[in-house]
């Protein structure tokens, strides 16, 4: 554990921390990985943390969250946790393979890395460095762009642990993999998980990621995920975020898709302190399909930011994007969706929409869907709406006997449902649908999570109430 | 059952209903006819409780209670049903969920237990038959993608599900083909009892061949200008509204 005095900036702290801990950070790293990390820290030194003068960060003021006196746990401590004592799966019809990151480190009951009969490898990134160095070497930092922003560079430099998933060719992984990210600590922590998911040719897998925080302490999570979806392979990625108000989460995901690769991403943000999700997708193949869906529900002073970038590099690919938000109280949300169609990407179809409901005058949404097109034979559309609940529909429902609150609930749920019904697994769709209704009724607490049953005696409660209007 | 006295209603300072009077008793069927823009739908909306209209004068009594004090949901739970001229599409709200919620809210108001799942599905099927809806309605979103005629049938289906005391059907016949018209009218007739009442707003005498009214009222410029029995509708069909206008002008010049 590193204790650093607070009179120097976090940037300097991080640079010093890197210098001091090279041995730990480079453990089991190949020469080329060490080069990558050295280059990444140099990049971070050059560009620093992003700030609001940068166009991409204009509306995401991260600076106040860099001020806390965070602890950085670089030393691998053997973590002895009985996973089932912390949580148990609450979705009865959902049979998943569960992996857990606890304060950014992989925790496990039996083994840190599992190889299934079909050859699929699931487990700790750190352990994979030791056991499958050739796979890591081949893919590490090949999809993440360290120059995207200082956080990505920093994560690369400090990459130690995270989730590693490898699906070999021609394998359909039937069981969904459930990735649980828990922050639960009494100290203020800064964690930087690094995930790597490789889906080889003709294979397919479904991932369900859940981001949770169980305590009220300040925490900062700078997570980077690299994903390769190789030719004709498929990845469904469902992400549920239910975070406490003092948690800061940056989630940057890079996806590389080869010919005919298919991605479906669903991001459901139910509660947040400060969340920014960056989804950076390279359609680096022909006939790719990328479907990006998102729903964000925020109230009080919560902040949710979704930045997406879809890069059409080659012909005949389709991308479709639908993000929807309901904002109450003084909540703030940002949506920035960029679709780039490069000169070679003829016959691209790109559709993008962002729709929002503001329940108060003080809630704000900044939405910026944009297209940049350099090919001439393409079909693209984009649009954004911001509105209130439909009065005509409210009256129609009430005229049938539904109370005002009930009618409002039903309409808000209906608004969200367009995204929820895109979730590919039925049991999960039903369960997440229920969570969204609960959230809208103001009954969802941080200990009532999609997959977890918190056994702690005094669960953290915080009030969420979208229903009171 | 329903007494409307000297009702004056405006929207955006524009007066639409001007000294409107009507009394409807249990067991009766009233028809209201009148040219476009006369205020028929406005009347229906005000009875159902739409708050965009301002009642500047007069009162509406329903079962002796002051209706204007009640929010729309309470009116519905008290047995008032409005069949909309333009039913609203509500994407994402399934018919089954909508109807189950509505039925249970009304049951709760009456102090009854919520309806069980199986009983509810049985009720849906039974009432679908009444308006001869063959398609799978349950999982479809309310009115979304329904044809004009389907929307109107859906209104009568909802009426059957909620079993109201006073139904106001605003041009439920327009947009229906001849078979659908007969089906809808049959549905309404089957729901008729000596204890409930119906007000049908229509432009066409044809509907009144099926749903035979006790009274026909002609509305013009925000009020009822002529009332009669079913023969008035036939006369109106023959002579048109000019006949009413001329009569009014003649009266005015006396
Ligand atoms: N929301 C509104 N805002 C402004 N004016 C309105 C509104 N609703 C109705 N009106 C006006 O009130 C008048 C009466 O409308 P209403 O819909 O009640 O007529 P109607 O008799 O039902 O006509 P139709 O036979 O065409 O259905 C019309 O002049 C209409 O333009
Ligand atoms: Mg009308």
Q: Are A416 and A324 in contact (CB under 8 A)?
A: yes
Lookup: tokens for A263: 């991605």
What is the residue with the minimal CA distance to atom 18 of ligand 1? B39
Return the structure tokens found at B178: 């001849």
- Among A283, A275, A352, smallest CA distance to A306 is for A275
- Give the DSSP letter string of B140-205: SEETTT--HHHHHHHHHHHHHHH--SEEEEESTTTT--HHHHHHHHHHHHHH--SS-EEEEE-S-H
* Mutation pick for ligand 1 pocket among B40, B53, B84 (CB with most ligand atoms within 8 Å): B40
Confidence of residue B243 (pLDDT cuts 50, 70, 90): confident
Domain membership flag for residue B207:
yes
Q: Is the CB of B202 under 6 A from ligand 1?
A: no
The answer to whether the beta carbons of residues B127 and B156 sit under 8 Å apart is no
Closest Cα in chain B, distance from residue A422 (Å): 12
Q: Do the domain assignments include residue B116?
A: yes
Ligand 1 contact via B85 beta carbon (within 6 Å): yes
Chain-chain contact of A396 with B84 (C-beta, under 8 angstroms)? yes
* Pairwise CA distance, residues A391 & A95, whole Å: 42
What is the Cα A416 distance to its own chain's centre?
A: 19
Low-confidence ranges of chain A (pLDDT < 50): 1, 3-6, 446-469
Residues of A with Cβ-Cβ distance to B162 under 8 angstroms: 400-401
Look at residue A340 in the predicted model and tell me its pLDDT. Answer: 97
Of B166, B174, B51, B154, give the one whose Cα is nearest residue B93.
B154
Q: Cβ contacts (< 8 Å) between A393 and chain B: which residues?
A: 88, 90
Q: How confident is the model at residue B208 (pLDDT cuts 50, 70, 90)?
A: very high
In a domain? residue B248:
yes
User: Minimal Cα–Cα distance from B240 to chain A, Å?
Assistant: 33
Are the CB atoms for B81 and B164 separated by under 8 Å?
yes
CA distance B91 to chain A (A): 7
Give the nearest chain A residue to B47 (CA atoms): A399
**pLDDT tens string B71-102:** 999 999 999 999 999 999 999 899 999 999 99
Task: Give one DSSP letter per residue of A268-332, joined into a string.
Answer: EEEE-SEEEEEEEEEE-SSS-EEEEEEEEEE-TT-EEEEEEEEEE-SSS-EEEEEEEEEE-TT-E
Please choose, from the candidates A324, A335, A325, the residue with its C-alpha nearest in 3D space to the C-alpha of residue A299: A325
B216 CA → ligand 2 middle, Å: 17
Q: How far is B209 from chain A (nearest CA, A)?
A: 28
Question: Which ipTM score applies to this complex?
Answer: 0.96
If contacts are CB pairs under 8 Å, which of residues 369-428 in chain A contact chain B? 390-393, 395-404, 406-407, 410-411, 413-418
Out of B9, B12, B41, B172, give the residue to mutate to test ligand 1, the one with the largest number of ligand atoms within 8 Å of its CB. Answer: B41
Tell me the chain A residues in contact with residue B73 when contact means C-beta distances shorter than 8 Å: 398-399, 401-404, 407
Task: Please answer yes or no on whether B82 and A418 come within 8 Å at the CB atom.
Answer: no
Six token digits for residue A450: 């999609």
Distances (CA, A) of B78 to B75, B101, B159, B194: 5, 16, 14, 17
Helices and strands per DSSP (H, E), number in chain B? 8, 12
Residue B191 lies in a domain: no
Between CA B210 and CA B188 the distance in angstroms is 9
* CATH number of the domain residue B80 falls in: 3.40.50.300
The dihedral over CA atoms of A139, A143, A145, A149, expressed in degrees to the nearest 10, equals: -100
Alpha-carbon torsion A342, A343, A348, A352, what sign? positive
Ligand 1 contact via B33 beta carbon (within 6 Å): no
B108-149, pLDDT tens digit by residue?
A: 999 999 999 999 999 999 999 998 888 788 889 999 999 999
To probe the interface with B, which of A390, A400, A410, A416 has the most B CB atoms within 10 Å? A400
* Strand arrangement, sheet containing A234-242: A105-107, A96-102, A176-183, A204-213, A234-242, A262-271, A289-298, A318-327, A348-358, A378-387
Number of independent structural domains in chain B: 1
Residue B100, domain extent: 2-184+196-253
* Residue A395 to residue B158, Cβ atoms within 8 A: no
| C-alpha B38 – ligand 1 centre gap (Å) | 7
B105 within some domain: yes
Cα–Cα distance for residue pair A306/A275, rounded to 1 Å: 8
Task: Please work out whether the CB of residue B45 comes within 6 Å of at least one atom of ligand 1.
Answer: no
Q: Say whether B101 and A395 touch across the interface (CB within 8 A).
A: no
Q: How far is the CA of B46 from the centre of ligand 2 (A)?
A: 12
Partner residue opposite B101 with nearest CB, options A395, A396, A406: A406
Instruction: Indicate yes or no: CB of A406 within 8 angstroms of CB of B105.
Output: yes
Calculate how close chain A gets to B169, using CA atoms only, in Å: 13
User: Residue B19: what are its φ and ψ, rounded to 5°?
Assistant: 55, 60
Q: Ligand 1 center to residue B203 CA distance, Å?
A: 15
Gap between the Cα atoms of A444 and A417, Å rounded: 17
- Report yes or no on B209 lying in a domain: yes
Residue B29 lies in a domain: yes
Q: Decide: A335 and A306 in contact? Cβ < 8 Å.
A: yes
Tell me whether residue B58 is in a domain: yes
């Amino acid at each position: 554990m590193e204790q650093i005095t607070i009179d120097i900036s976090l940037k300097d702290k991080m640079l010093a921390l890197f210098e001091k801990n090279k041995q730990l950070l480079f453990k089991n790293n190949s020469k080329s990985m060490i080069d990558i990390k050295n280059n990444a820290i140099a990049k971070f030194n050059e560009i620093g943390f992003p700030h609001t003068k940068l166009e991409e960060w204009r509306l995401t003021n991260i600076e106040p969250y860099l001020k806390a006196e965070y602890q950085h746990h670089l030393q691998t401590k053997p973590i002895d946790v009985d996973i089932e004592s912390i949580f148990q799966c609450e979705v009865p019809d959902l049979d998943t393979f569960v992996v857990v990151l606890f304060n950014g480190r992989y925790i496990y009951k039996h083994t840190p890395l599992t190889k299934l009969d079909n050859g699929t490898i699931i487990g700790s990134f750190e352990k994979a460095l030791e056991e499958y160095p050739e796979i890591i070497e081949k893919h590490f930092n090949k999809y993440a762009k360290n120059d995207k922003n200082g956080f990505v560079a920093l994560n690369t430099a400090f990459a130690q642990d995270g989730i590693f998933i490898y699906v070999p060719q021609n394998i359909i992984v039937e069981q969904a993999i459930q990735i649980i990210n828990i922050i639960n600590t009494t100290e203020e922590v800064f964690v930087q998980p690094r995930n790597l998911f490789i889906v080889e040719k003709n294979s397919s897998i479904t991932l369900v990621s859940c981001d949770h925080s169980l305590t009220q302490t300040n925490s900062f999570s700078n997570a980077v995920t690299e994903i390769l979806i190789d030719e004709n392979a498929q990845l469904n990625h469902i992400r549920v975020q239910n975070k406490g108000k003092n948690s800061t989460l940056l989630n940057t995901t890079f996806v590389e898709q080869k010919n005919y690769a298919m991605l479906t991403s669903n991001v459901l943000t139910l509660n947040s302190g400060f969340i920014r999700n960056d989804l950076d997708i390279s359609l680096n193949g022909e006939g790719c399909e990328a479907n990006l869906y998102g729903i964000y529900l925020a109230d009080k002073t919560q902040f949710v930011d979704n930045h997406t970038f879809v890069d059409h590099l080659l012909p005949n690919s389709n991308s479709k994007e639908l993000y929807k938000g309901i904002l109450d109280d003084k909540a703030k949300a940002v949506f920035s969706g960029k679709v780039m169609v490069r000169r070679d990407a003829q016959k691209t179809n790109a559709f993008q929409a962002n729709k929002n409901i503001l329940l108060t005058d003080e809630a704000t949404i900044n939405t910026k869907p944009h297209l940049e097109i350099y090919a001439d034979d393409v079909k693209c559309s984009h649009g954004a709406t911001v509105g209130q609940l439909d009065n005509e529909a409210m009256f129609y429902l009430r005229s049938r006997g539904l109370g005002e609150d009930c009618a409002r609930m039903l309409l808000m749920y209906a608004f969200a449902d367009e995204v929820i019904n895109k979730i590919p697994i039925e049991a999960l769709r039903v369960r997440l649908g229920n969570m969204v209704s609960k959230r809208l009724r103001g009954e969802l607490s941080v200990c009532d999570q999609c997959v977890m049953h918190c056994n702690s005696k005094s669960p953290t409660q915080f009030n969420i109430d979208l229903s009171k209007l | 059952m329903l007494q409307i006295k000297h009702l004056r209603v405006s929207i955006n300072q524009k007066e639409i209903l001007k000294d409107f009077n009507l009394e409807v008793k249990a067991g009766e069927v009233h028809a209201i006819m009148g040219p476009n823009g006369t205020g028929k739908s406005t009347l229906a909306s005000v009875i159902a409780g739409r708050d965009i209209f301002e009642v500047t004068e007069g009162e509406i009594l329903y079962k002796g209670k002051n209706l204007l004090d009640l929010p729309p949901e309470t009116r519905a739970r008290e047995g008032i049903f409005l069949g909309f001229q333009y039913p609203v599409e509500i994407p994402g709200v399934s018919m089954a969920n909508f109807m189950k919620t509505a039925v249970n809210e009304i049951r709760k108001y009456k102090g009854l237990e919520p309806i069980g799942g199986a009983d509810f599905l049985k009720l849906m099927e039974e009432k679908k038959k009444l308006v001869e809806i063959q398609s799978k309605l349950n999982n479809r979103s309310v009115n979304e993608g329904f044809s004009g005629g389907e929307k109107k049938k859906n209104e009568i289906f909802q009426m059957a599900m909620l079993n109201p005391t006073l139904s106001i059907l605003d041009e439920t016949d327009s947009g229906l083909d001849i078979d659908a018209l007969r089906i809808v009218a049959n549905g309404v007739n089957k729901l008729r009892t000596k204890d409930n009442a119906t007000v049908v707003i229509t432009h066409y005498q044809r509907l009144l061949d099926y749903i035979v009214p006790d009274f026909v009222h002609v509305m013009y410029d925000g009020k009822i200008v002529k009332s009669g029995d079913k023969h008035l509708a036939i006369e109106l069909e023959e002579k048109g509204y000019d006949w009413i206008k001329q009569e009014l002008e003649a009266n005015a010049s006396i």
